């Protein structure tokens, strides 16, 4: 049986008091730390919500200024994305600083991890650089009809930070990475006010070339959408195996190109039919020689 002296009992009482005191202090600090942490979280949420509204306000204000300055819509979209990312990064730095993380530490961390981030996001960074290049060189703008490497054709509907969207004539959306687009051959069909319509019409060798050219001239003069102030060419392009090919070159407004091309093709066929001008089609003459394949006795 354990027997405790009076002095030992007093010592145990003192130890218990110390332990209780330490526990109370820890509990109070925990409450204070928890309360402080919760307050920091609430303030961070408020900063993020307020920051979002401020960023949207700045973006709208910047858009109005750029639109009044007659900046191309595609460049406005790209600048808007750059400003959006930059401002959200600043808000992130402010929130991090509120939690005791210095901005210099964050920037230093990003700098030290730059190589890793660069390798991991090499494609995205290449596309971003391509977007900046497209903004500076301006090979096309929103609403332009373009062709990329003879692979994709469509109307430009969006120029983003990392990709560009095309709307095809059959209502499909093609998303092209800016990095690939910046390094590709691009044909812009709508960059100029006027576009030349080129047609080839064939007539039989037995037909009068001057008569055919006169008929073509009348058809072109009757088409009001042709820009008659610019050169109108009607000429003999080639003498093919079974036809004489006449070439036609006229100008029209770019947005009316297909309509004029289709209309001229139809009207030329009708005019040739009225005037009795023959449009040849491929023919093959077969000559059978007597005695071929017969057996000799």
Which strand (E) or helix (H) includes residue 82? helix 73-98
CB 243 within 8 A of CB 205: yes
CATH assignment of 194-275, given 2.60.40.10, 3.30.70.100, 1.10.10.10, 3.40.50.10210?
A: 3.30.70.100
Three-state SS at 99:
coil
- The domain segmentation of the chain, as residue ranges, is 24-112, 139-188, 194-275
CA nearest to 92, candidates 62, 47, 39: 47
Mean pLDDT of the 78-97 span: 78
CA dihedral angle for residue 123, residue 128, residue 134, residue 140, rounded to 10 degrees = 80
CB 216 within 8 A of CB 248: yes
Q: Whole-model pTM? A: 0.57
Digit-coded pLDDT (tens) for 8-35: 445 545 545 545 555 555 455 545 566 6
CATH of domain 139-188: 2.30.30.60
- For residue 242, give the DSSP letter: S
Digit-coded pLDDT (tens) for 212-238: 999 999 999 999 999 999 999 999 999
CATH assignment of 24-112, given 1.50.10, 1.10.287, 1.10.510, 3.60.21?
A: 1.10.287
Q: Is the pLDDT of residue 1 over 50?
A: no
CA nearest to 214, candidates 296, 126, 277, 130: 277
- Which of 109-123, 212-226, 242-256 has the lowest average pLDDT? 109-123
Within 10 angstroms of residue 142's Cβ, the number of other Cβ atoms is 16
Please, which contacts does 75-81 make with residues 24 or more away whose CB atoms are closer than 8 Å? Answer: 75/135, 75/138, 75/159, 77/142, 77/158, 77/159, 77/160, 78/131, 78/132, 78/134, 78/135, 78/159, 78/160, 78/161, 79/135, 81/160, 81/161
Q: Is the pLDDT of residue 246 over 70?
A: yes
Residues ≥6 apart with Cβ < 8 Å to 189: 144, 145, 146, 147, 195, 254, 257
Q: How far apart are CA 270 and CA 191, in angstroms?
A: 33
Q: Is the pLDDT of residue 116 over 70?
A: no
Rg (CA), the chain: 39
CB 140 within 8 A of CB 191: yes
Res. 291 pLDDT band, cuts 50 70 90? low
Res. 88 pLDDT band, cuts 50 70 90? confident
Digit-coded pLDDT (tens) for 174-196: 999 988 888 888 999 999 999 99
């Amino acid at each position: 049986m354990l027997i405790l002296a009076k002095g030992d009992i007093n010592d145990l009482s003192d130890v218990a008091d110390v332990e209780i005191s330490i526990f109370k202090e820890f509990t109070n600090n925990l409450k204070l730390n928890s309360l402080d942490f919760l307050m920091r979280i609430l303030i961070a949420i408020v900063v993020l919500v307020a920051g979002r509204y401020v960023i949207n306000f700045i973006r709208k204000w910047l858009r109005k200024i750029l639109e009044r300055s007659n900046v191309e819509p595609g460049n406005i979209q790209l600048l808007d994305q750059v400003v959006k990312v930059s401002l959200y990064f600043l808000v992130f730095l402010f929130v991090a600083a509120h939690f005791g993380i210095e901005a210099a530490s964050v920037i230093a961390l990003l700098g030290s991890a730059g190589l890793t981030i660069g390798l991991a996001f090499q494609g995205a960074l290449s596309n971003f650089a391509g977007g900046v290049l497209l903004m500076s060189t301006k090979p096309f703008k929103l609403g332009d009809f373009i062709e990329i490497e003879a692979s994709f054709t469509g109307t430009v509907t969006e120029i983003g930070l990392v990709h560009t969207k095309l709307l095809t004539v059959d209502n499909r959306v093609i998303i092209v990475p800016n990095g690939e687009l910046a390094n590709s051959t691009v044909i812009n069909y709508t960059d100029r006010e006027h576009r030349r319509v080129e047609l080839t019409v064939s007539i039989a060798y037995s037909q009068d070339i001057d008569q055919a050219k006169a008929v073509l001239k009348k058809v072109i003069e009757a088409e009001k959408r042709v820009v008659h102030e610019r050169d109108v060419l009607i000429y003999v392009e080639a003498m093919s195996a079974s036809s004489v090919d006449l070439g036609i070159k006229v100008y029209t407004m770019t947005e009316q190109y297909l309509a004029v091309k289709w209309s001229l093709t139809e009207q030329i066929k009708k005019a040739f039919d009225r005037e009795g001008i023959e449009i040849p089609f491929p023919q093959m003459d077969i000559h059978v020689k007597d005695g071929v394949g017969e057996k000799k006795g």
